[in-house]
């Protein structure tokens, strides 16, 4: 795909040391953390400036070379796998905080900066970027995927915390969207159009983000229940009561047992809710936790432990964030399917009950249910033997497809935060309808008429 002339031009744009054709570099950019098959790109390039990205895209567009943006490779739906080969644009060298607007609770950054690294630096100003995907994802990847996570109930997903973008279009044009004003009503909302587009409409080279003060007062609680259905019912009542948890996670018994085994958490081996509240004072937090305890007890909680200290709370969330990696290690001879659905909070208990019923028919396949329950998001991870097509079909059709169809039927979505990528495309028409998908394809064609940007994704 890449002639000597094209290679020479690309090397001139970024320098020979920032361009690679080696199998090692290409292999590192052939697969994300999903179970989807790897696809080798033809080359990897590491730009350092927006102008270089512009020149790369202009040249690629002229020669119709596929382009895939790359952050940390932590996506879970094959979002960054280069299906058609071409060039992977790795933003790791564009990883700077450009400006901190501390008085406005804002920051402007380059896309390659990693989320956790950025928050460590922002902590010097008493601020943090609230969306928390768990993994140390890049900011560009989080925006491209509209990542969310544990803190969504209080702070929103990534889309809710992006104010402005600098984007390079397929033809190399550089545009700016949005502004630093919290209120914006001028023209079409291009900022949110690019957020969640998975690099199919343009490559993000700069972002201005909304920040939050690091909470001075917080409290965490753990509640266990006899059944996962009871825990899900408690989630509905907590959110329906008007309380505003910063985080509300649901874990089934199998998941809790894994965390006990791997992280020595000493949790009650039962369906469990993790809750965290941020407040103006300890007194307000105490009132909220009293209400939460009463709700949990009315829903049949077995135990309720509040007032967890900072160290224990940090260990708890660290164990939760490492859960995916732990499960992957536990089943080295297995492949897996991850479900990421979300429904209105009133339908969350219905969805959980349906998922548990579907799991019961999988002949004891290793399976785990957990999720960001406070925003109606449910994850499941089901494992099956490698290269076992019959087992894959059973898990896919007997569980994954059924749960996703049920979520959509309940007014929800096939993907709450992992994006469409490869695995969720077949559900897009069911969720949005053929006419809406046709409009999405028109938008894609307008921004990328030659189809070079992350081809085969979202509406591919």
- Tell me the domain boundaries of the chain: 4-92, 97-213, 217-323, 331-423
pLDDT at res. 297? 97
pLDDT at res. 460? 79
Beta strands in 78-211 (DSSP E): 87-90, 97-101, 106-109, 127-128, 162-168, 174-178, 203-210
pLDDT at res. 127? 98
Instruction: Give the CA distances from residue 349 to residues 59, 61, 230, 387, in Å, rounded to whole numbers and listed in that order.
Output: 51, 48, 8, 34
Q: Residue 147, SS3? A: coil
Q: What is the CATH number of domain 331-423?
A: 3.30.70.2740
Beta strands in 372-453 (DSSP E): 377-385
Give the bridge partners for 208, in sequence order.
Answer: 108, 164
The neighbour count for residue 408, using CB atoms within 10 Å, is 17
Q: Are 48 and 19 in contact (CB under 8 A)?
A: no
pLDDT at res. 363? 81
In 3D space, the residue among 367, 356, 323 whose CA is nearest the CA of residue 149 turns out to be 323
The neighbour count for residue 64, using CB atoms within 10 Å, is 11
Q: Residue 3, SS3? A: coil
pLDDT at res. 294? 97
Fold of the domain built from segment(s) 4-92 = 3.30.43
Assign domain 97-213 to its CATH architecture: 2-Layer Sandwich (3.30)
Average pLDDT per run of 10 along the chain, which is 460 residues long? Answer: 95 98 98 94 98 98 98 95 98 98 98 97 97 93 95 95 98 98 96 98 98 93 97 97 94 96 94 94 91 96 89 88 90 92 98 96 91 96 93 94 97 97 95 97 98 95
Crossing angle of the two packed helices 228-240 and 282-298, in degrees rounded to 10: 130
Torsion of CA 164, 166, 169, 172, to 10 degrees: 160
Give the bridge partners for 278, in sequence order.
Answer: 218
Instruction: Give the CA distances from residue 22 to residues 18, 33, 47, 147, 281, in Å, rounded to whole numbers and listed in that order.
Output: 12, 21, 17, 31, 56
Give the bridge partners for 176, in sequence order.
Answer: 166
Sheet containing strand 67-70, strands side by side: 19-20, 43-45, 87-90, 67-70
Sheet containing strand 174-178, strands side by side: 97-101, 106-109, 203-210, 162-168, 174-178
Fold of the domain built from segment(s) 217-323 = Alpha-Beta Plaits (3.30.70)
In 3D space, the residue among 78, 56, 80 whose CA is nearest the CA of residue 70 turns out to be 80
């Amino acid at each position: 795909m890449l002639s000597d002339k094209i290679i020479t031009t690309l090397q001139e744009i970024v320098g020979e040391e920032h361009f690679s054709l080696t199998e090692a570099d290409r292999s590192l950019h052939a697969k994300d953390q999903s179970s989807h098959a790897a696809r080798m790109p033809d080359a990897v390039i590491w730009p350092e400036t927006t102008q270089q990205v512009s020149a790369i895209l202009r040249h690629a567009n002229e020669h119709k070379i596929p382009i895939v943006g790359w952050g940390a490779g932590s996506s879970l739906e094959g979002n960054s796998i280069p299906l058609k080969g071409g060039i992977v644009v790795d933003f790791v060298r564009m990883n700077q905080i450009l400006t901190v607007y501390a008085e406005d609770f804002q920051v402007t950054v380059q896309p390659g900066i990693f989320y956790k690294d950025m928050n460590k630096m922002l902590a010097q100003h008493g601020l943090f970027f609230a969306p928390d995907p768990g993994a140390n994802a890049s900011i560009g990847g989080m925006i491209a995927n509209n990542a969310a996570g544990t803190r969504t109930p209080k702070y929103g997903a990534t889309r809710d915390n992006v104010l402005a973008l600098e984007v390079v279009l397929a033809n190399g044009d550089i545009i700016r969207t949005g502004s630093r004003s919290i209120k914006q009503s001028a023209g079409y909302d291009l900022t949110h159009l690019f957020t969640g587009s998975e690099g199919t409409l343009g490559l993000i080279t700069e972002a201005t983000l909304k920040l939050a003060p690091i909470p001075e007062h917080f409290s965490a609680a753990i509640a266990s229940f006899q059944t996962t259905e009871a825990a899900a019912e408690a989630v509905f009542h907590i959110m329906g009561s008007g309380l505003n948890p910063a985080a509300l996670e649901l874990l089934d018994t199998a998941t809790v047992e894994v965390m006990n085994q791997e992280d020595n958490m000493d949790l009650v081996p039962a369906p469990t809710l993790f809750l965290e509240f941020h407040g103006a004072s300890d007194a307000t937090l105490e009132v909220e936790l009293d209400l939460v305890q009463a709700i949990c007890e009315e829903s049949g909680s077995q135990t309720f432990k509040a007032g967890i200290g900072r160290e224990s709370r940090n260990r708890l969330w660290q164990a939760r964030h490492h859960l995916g990696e732990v499960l992957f290690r536990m089943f080295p001879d297995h492949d897996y399917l991850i479900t990421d659905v979300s429904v209105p909070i009133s339908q969350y208990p219905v969805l959980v009950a349906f998922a548990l019923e579907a799991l019961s028919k999988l002949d004891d396949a290793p399976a785990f249910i957990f999720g960001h329950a406070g925003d109606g998001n449910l994850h499941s991870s089901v494992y099956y033997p490698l290269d076992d097509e019959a087992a894959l079909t059973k898990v896919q059709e007997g569980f994954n497809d059924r749960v996703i169809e049920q979520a959509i039927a309940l007014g929800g979505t096939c993907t709450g935060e992992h994006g469409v990528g490869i695995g969720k495309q077949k559900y897009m028409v069911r969720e949005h309808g053929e006419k809406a998908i046709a409009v999405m394809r028109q938008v894609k064609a307008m921004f990328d008429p030659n189809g070079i940007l992350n081809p085969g994704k979202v509406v591919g």
